[in-house]
Amino acid sequence: MNRRDFLRVIAAAALLGATHPARAAGADSTELVREAIRRQRVLRLRYGGHLRFVEPHALGISAGGHRALLAWQIEGGSRSEPPSGWRTFLLAETGEVSLTVRGFSPRPSYQRDKAGLRDIELEVTREPDAASSPPAKARG
């Protein structure tokens, strides 16, 4: 990571808010993802060697049969450019997952049928503040 990338990550962390300390240490990443989807909160995670900040939209099973997260990456590193955009993260390859205090609204471009997930377990709702709204839709 060069100096510019390092400074971008530090600035993003400051802008996005601190992670939830009680959840960051030792909590199961799948539960953190579920909580982030229900509460519509940005996640901080490490994937592919890069620190990333993402808006989680759906949790499900990938075409390859692995538990996966579909999210809009808003900041952080990536092997592909630009860093923002739709990404699918295999949970088994995700590390350092933590919940931030920053909320988000579901992206208008999110389409359940184009999520690339074979089965969707949980997804965001169009409700503005999930903390005071009914929980996200769950299947099965």
> Does the pLDDT value for residue 103 go beyond 90?
yes
The share of the chain scoring above pLDDT 70, in percent, equals: 67
pLDDT at position 42, please?
98
Our count of domains for the chain comes to 1
Q: How confident is the model at residue 4 (pLDDT cuts 50, 70, 90)?
A: low
> Does the pLDDT value for residue 20 go beyond 60?
no
- Residue pLDDT, tens place only, 68-86: 999 999 988 877 666 788 9
Residue 96 belongs to domain spanning: 3-138
The share of the chain scoring above pLDDT 90, in percent, equals: 53
* Rounded CA separation 74/103 (Å): 12
> Does the pLDDT value for residue 11 go beyond 60?
no
Nearest to 109 by CA among 60, 34, 58: 58
Prior bond of 106 cis (ω within 30°): no
> Does the pLDDT value for residue 29 go beyond 60?
yes
- CB atoms inside a 10 Å sphere around CB 2: 7
Entry pTM: 0.71
Those residues with Cβ within 8 angstroms of residue 138's Cβ, 6 or more apart along the chain or in another chain: 121, 122
